[in-house]
Amino acid sequence: MEIFDLIFFYDKNTNLLLELLKKEDKISPLSFEKNPDRLNILNQYFRLLKIKNKIPSFFNHLCFIPETVFEQATSEKIAIAKSSYFNGSYFLDATAGLGIDSIAFANNFNKVIALEPNLNNFNALKYNLTKLKISNVEVLNQKFEEFIQNSTIKWDLIYLDPDRRLNNKRTFDWKDSSPNITNWISKLLETTKKVLIKLSPMIDISAILKEFPQIHRIWVMSHDKDCKEVLMEFDSENYQFEGFRLISISKNQTFSFESKKLTIESNYFSENKDFKYLLEADVVFEKSNMTDVYYNSLNLNLVISHPQGYAFTNQIPSNFMGKLFEIEWIKEYKPKAIKKYLTDNNIKQINITENRFIEKSEIIAKKLGVIQGGKDFLIFFTSINQKHYCILAKKNNEW
């Protein structure tokens, strides 16, 4: 069935989809295999379940989900957080895909043009915009490279999320993405005020700073403790590097931190002093090499284990972007002594985490004879002077 016919069929059979959604996980694909039309609806049912938490508006409005694009699609919360920093008249989404970013930015721009060269995705996006009742987004079935050559609009913002598949395999290198950013950035800066480009969360930030001296700002965004996006922001009127914008979304809260500073003088953990709290900054700080900068911005009396490690303090920070632990004790790492403590206190299950330690958590758990889980934590780290420590702690916040 062609995509246009499939969307039409889907639209006429949403009652069947609603029936499936009521049954949740009690559906077997085998019961549909003799009816291809109903099987198409079943495929949509499974895709909607996959994006239920990531893109709730698509789930709630029973949008059509093409087979190829929902894996790389931006989460709705991240798209909304990104878009809140921009506004203007004209926004170009050069690589629309499922259209999550186009839809989010449409709230802050008068006119959005979304380019989608894949005909299936193009038709799906047009259909979904109707379902969502969004009227200021125009979808064009064109390639970015062709469109931008003929565009006469002075854009306020151009957004790109390049395809990171090379020969049907995932790639982290921007040089292998499509369109190739390196070849197009100068042209883009002639036609827009600002450019925002999404990169792989696995990208080496130091490498892109060397490759693109015009970068105005680096963004790192996390959602529920996972690094989800790294972005480059360019400003056609300002080629000076302004630093990092770090955004963490956890549950129903969004936290942000901005800094230009890349290095800072810190006090380091050097001996076993009495500290009440251990701080573990969100993943966005380690990704941007800004962990120590963030700790020192808290204006607390603290020491750190490593520039990208833990912090120790006797004060509770407000609105902390990360995990807060209440320390019971800190000891030098002696596996036999720690195992004896666990045995004597009948502790058979405990969470184990480590930072730049000599052993991974799985090996430590096996050595100590415990199962990972429960409420308490054993936290292992190596200090700046190469001593190894173990901490028994309880988590103090909901991060």
Q: Are residues 230 and 360 in the same domain?
A: no
Q: Where are the alpha helices (DSSP H) in the chain?
A: 3-12, 14-23, 36-51, 56-60, 76-83, 100-105, 119-132, 144-150, 181-191, 205-211, 283-287, 291-297, 335-344, 361-368
Instruction: Summarize pLDDT for 61-88 with one digit per residue, the tens.
Output: 989 888 777 666 889 999 999 999 999 9
- Does the global pTM surpass 0.75? yes
Of all helices (H) and strands (E), which one includes residue 88? strand 88-93
* 267 domain residue, yes or no: no
Last-in-domain residue among 259, 291, 312:
259
Longest dimension (CA), the chain: 75
Q: Which residue has the tokens 């810190």?
A: 266
Q: Is residue 238 part of a domain?
A: yes
Whether residue 264 lies inside any domain: the answer is no
d(CA 328, CA 208): 42
Range of the domain at 36: 3-51
Q: Are residues 308 and 208 in the same domain?
A: no
Q: What is the pLDDT of residues 115-170, one digit of tens each?
A: 999 998 999 999 999 999 999 999 999 999 999 989 999 999 999 998 765 555 56
Task: Note the pLDDT of residue 45.
Answer: 82
Residues 6+ apart with CB under 8 A from 60: none
Cα four-point dihedral sign 267, 272, 273, 274: positive
- Domain check: are 220 and 119 in the same one? yes
CATH number at residue 81: 3.40.50.150
Residue 196 counted as domain residue: yes
On whether residue 383 sits in a domain, the answer given is yes
Tokens of 39: 């099987």
Highest average pLDDT, of 18-27, 71-80, 320-329, comes from 320-329
Asked which of 259, 292, 324 is the last residue of a domain, the reply is 259
- Dihedral sign for Cα 249, 255, 261, 266, please: negative
Whether 229 is covered by a domain: the verdict is yes
Which range is least confidently modeled, 79-83, 257-261, 271-275? 271-275
Phi first, then psi: give them for residue 61, nearest 5 degrees.
-100, 10
Strands 192-199 and 155-160: parallel
- Separation CA 37–CA 338 (nearest Å): 61
**How is 285-349 classified by DSSP, letter by letter?**
HHHTT-HHHHHHHT---EEESSTTS-EEESSPPTT-SEEEEEEEEEEE--HHHHHHHHHHTT--B
* Cα 66 to Cα 97: distance, rounded to the nearest angstrom: 9
CB 155 within 8 A of CB 143: no
Q: Enumerate residues 6+ apart whose C-beta is below 8 A from 191.
A: 148, 151, 153, 154, 155, 158
Same domain, 237 and 314: no
Is the distance from CB of 166 to CB of 203 less than 8 angstroms?
Answer: no
State whether 198 and 309 are in the same domain: no
pLDDT band at 34 (very low <50, low <70, confident <90, very high): low
Domain co-membership, 250 together with 104: yes
Distance from C-alpha of 350 to C-alpha of 372, rounded to nearest angstrom:
5
370, 341 contact by CB (below 8 A): no
- Which residue from 46, 31, 152, 163 is spatially nearest to 95, judged by alpha carbons? 163
* Domain endpoint, select from 231, 259, 287: 259
Instruction: Give exposure, 337-369, as e/b (b: 16+ Cβ within 10 Å).
Output: ebeebbeeeebeebbbbbbebebebeebbeebe
Sheet holding 277-281, edge to edge: 302-304, 311-313, 277-281, 322-332, 388-395, 376-382, 351-355
CA dist 280 and 312 (Å) reads 9
Same domain, 374 and 237: no
If one counts the domains in the chain, the total is: 3
For residue 179, whether the previous peptide bond is cis, meaning omega lies within 30 degrees of 0, is yes
**Is there a single domain that holds both residue 218 and residue 293?**
no
The span from the CA of 240 to the CA of 216, in Å, is 6
Smallest CA-to-CA distance from 39 within 47, 212, 172 is with 47
Residue 196 has pLDDT above 90, yes or no: yes
Q: Is residue 145 part of a domain?
A: yes
- Residues 223-247 have pLDDT tens digits of 988 999 999 999 999 999 999 999 9
More confident residue, 169 or 42: 42
pLDDT(171) > 60: no
The CA distance from 259 to 275, in Å, is 27
**Whether residue 13 is found in the same domain as residue 108:** no
Residue 210 lies in a domain: yes
Instruction: For residues 351 and 384, state if they share a domain.
Output: yes
* Together in a domain, 81 and 215: yes
CA distance 170 to 25: 30
Question: 81 and 212, same structural domain?
Answer: yes
For the chain, percent of residues with pLDDT exceeding 70:
86
